[in-house]
Amino acid sequence: MTNPKHVCVLGAGIVGLATAWQLHREGYRVSVIERDAPGHGASGGNGAQLSYSYVQPLADPSIWHQLPKLLLSPQSPLKLRPRLDPLQWRWGLAFLAACNADTSRETTAQLLALAAQSRAAFEELMAELEPACDFSATGKLVLYSSAAALDGARRQLELQRTLGSGSQRLLTPDECIAIEPALAYYRDRMAGAIHTPSECSADCLKLCTELEAALAQRGVNFQLGVEVQGFVQSGGRVAAALTSAGPIEADAYVLALGSASTRLGRELGAYLPVYPLKGYSITVDVDDSPGAAPHVNVTDSARKVVFARIGSRLRVAGMAELVGHDASIPAERVESLVAATRALFPHCSRFDDLHPWTGMRPATPTGRPIIGRLANAPSNLLFNTGHGALGFTLAFGSALRIGHALASG
Ligand SMILES: Cc1cc2nc3c(=O)[nH]c(=O)nc-3n(C[C@H](O)[C@H](O)[C@H](O)COP(=O)(O)OP(=O)(O)OC[C@H]3O[C@@H](n4cnc5c(N)ncnc54)[C@H](O)[C@@H]3O)c2cc1C
């Protein structure tokens, strides 16, 4: 492909916006099409963690012995509602096939490499743009409640060490409390934790808003409230994206539609194994007294809930449901996040304003995103989707790779 002048990015979640940022820097003329407002898909209320060193995929052999409890317990963070949807079954079977040690190790290696690229690209963005997004670099503690779980974590730590992720350490409960005093109330229920001092957090929605404003000011054309409905293809290429505002022509297209990627991908001849993995979050104002609310990012691995401080608020996120595109927020999921927060940090907030939110992680069975061209798809179409539980973390590295793919096409 000759050097394309005009690239049209489909989708303004964090992945589409990071792509637009990167391509604009590389000198392309960029348009962005988004049916809603930037960051109002899965990126909006996510767990806020930039988890560069802790990338263990969900598809892991340990899932096999957890599966009966995860599927049957009413309090389980995992939920499957079987549907008459071949995509759901195909995804579920591929996920189970990926739950083996070799695939998990390969995914971990690939995600760590992408995360390292992403961190470097994100740091450049922060230095250049200085976006107001409640960024902090206070590290992360992943808590384990039993000796057996801690043992599994030790193995993952050793694997990550051999892959060059060397800054992590196993801590005793007392060492955890020395780092994060707000965990004092939880002391007797922890077996230990993995500490990664270099992890960060930020408000992804604020970052999306800042990116849109900065890019628009630099000449990127945003078509907001405009839905991509299909494509005109000609000679093995996309000639135009058909949208609710009419056809949009460009030299190349980047499909970054999150969990909505699959349907439009299929129209272009590409099977994208991306299924919505629904999650929830609440965001509460915190009590600033010393030791009440955490400053360090915390993951409660038993409940599969993450806690991140974003400014004067605490974001609490979790759950993984295979229930299609159902965007409802059941009261018991919100109560469960409140209960998880009270269990660890009983005095952190008055919990009078919860801001409940739900979002669909664009998940692939292995946890590896789809970045670049696909064999059966049009040659001027690139994919940047399927980032699952790590899209915020991986967005800027993925955008770099899209830049390389466009340049080498
Ligand atoms: C509960 C939860 C917690 C999470 N926690 C973390 C975390 O702590 N750290 C982390 O790194 N990641 C986390 N993630 C994952 C991360 O949020 C996602 O991987 C990431 O947001 C995906 O970004 P995206 O741009 O691909 O998708 P989205 O943000 O969903 O963006 C896709 C965009 O495409 C638009 N769109 C869709 N269809 C059309 C159409 N036909 N026409 C026009 N526009 C369209 C949508 O409106 C949307 O804005 C979490 C996710 C959830 C749900």
For 299-308, the pLDDT digits (tens) are 999 889 999 9
pLDDT surpasses 60 at 3? no
122: in domain: no
User: 128 and 215 in contact (C-beta within 8 Å)?
Assistant: no
Q: Kindly give the distance from the C-alpha atom of residue 303 to the centroid of ligand 1, in angstroms, as a whole number.
A: 22
User: 316 and 341 in contact (C-beta within 8 Å)?
Assistant: yes
Whichever domain contains 336, its CATH number is 3.30.9.10
- Do 37 and 58 fall into the same domain? no
- Do 264 and 395 fall into the same domain? yes
pTM value is 0.96
pLDDT tens readout for residues 89-119: 999 999 999 999 999 999 999 999 999 999 9
Q: Kindly give the distance from the C-alpha atom of residue 374 to the centroid of ligand 1, in angstroms, as a whole number.
A: 21
- Do 249 and 187 fall into the same domain? no
Question: pLDDT value at position 2?
Answer: 52
- Do 348 and 248 fall into the same domain? no
Q: What is the 3-state secondary structure (H, E, C) of 243-291?
A: ECCEEECCCEEEECCHHHHHHHHHHCCCCCCCEEEEEEEEEEECCCCCC
- Do 194 and 324 fall into the same domain? yes
Q: Is 14 helix (H, G, I), strand (E, B) or coil?
A: helix
Q: If you write DSSP's letter for every residue of 48-76 in order, what string do you get? A: -EE-SS----S--TTHHHHHHHHHH-TT-
Residue 86: pLDDT band (50, 70, 90) is confident
Q: Are strands 313-322 and 305-310 parallel, antiparallel or unpaired?
A: antiparallel
Residue 161: pLDDT band (50, 70, 90) is confident
- Do 217 and 195 fall into the same domain? no
123: in domain: no
Residue 42: pLDDT band (50, 70, 90) is very high
- Do 378 and 289 fall into the same domain? no
Tokens coding 114: 């992408």
- Split into its structural domains, the chain has a count of 2
Question: pLDDT value at position 66?
Answer: 76
Distance between CA atoms of residues 389 and 406, nearest Å:
26
Residue 273: pLDDT band (50, 70, 90) is very high
Tokens coding 1: 């492909």
Q: Kindly give the distance from the C-alpha atom of residue 307 to the centroid of ligand 1, in angstroms, as a whole number.
A: 19
Q: Kindly give the distance from the C-alpha atom of residue 178 to the centroid of ligand 1, in angstroms, as a whole number.
A: 35
- Do 335 and 191 fall into the same domain? yes
Give the structural domain span for 387. 6-43+206-273+368-408
- Do 346 and 239 fall into the same domain? no
Q: Which residues contact 44 (CB under 8 A, 6 or more apart)?
A: 204, 205, 208, 357, 359
- Do 248 and 335 fall into the same domain? no
Q: What is the DSSP letter of 155?
A: H
Tokens coding 339: 């209960």
Residue 71: pLDDT band (50, 70, 90) is confident
115: in domain: no
Whichever domain contains 37, its CATH number is 3.50.50.60
98: in domain: yes
pLDDT surpasses 70 at 155? yes
Q: Probe ligand 1: pick from 51, 211, 316, 361, max atoms within 8 Å of CB?
A: 361
- Do 221 and 72 fall into the same domain? no
Tally of CB atoms within 10 A around 158: 11
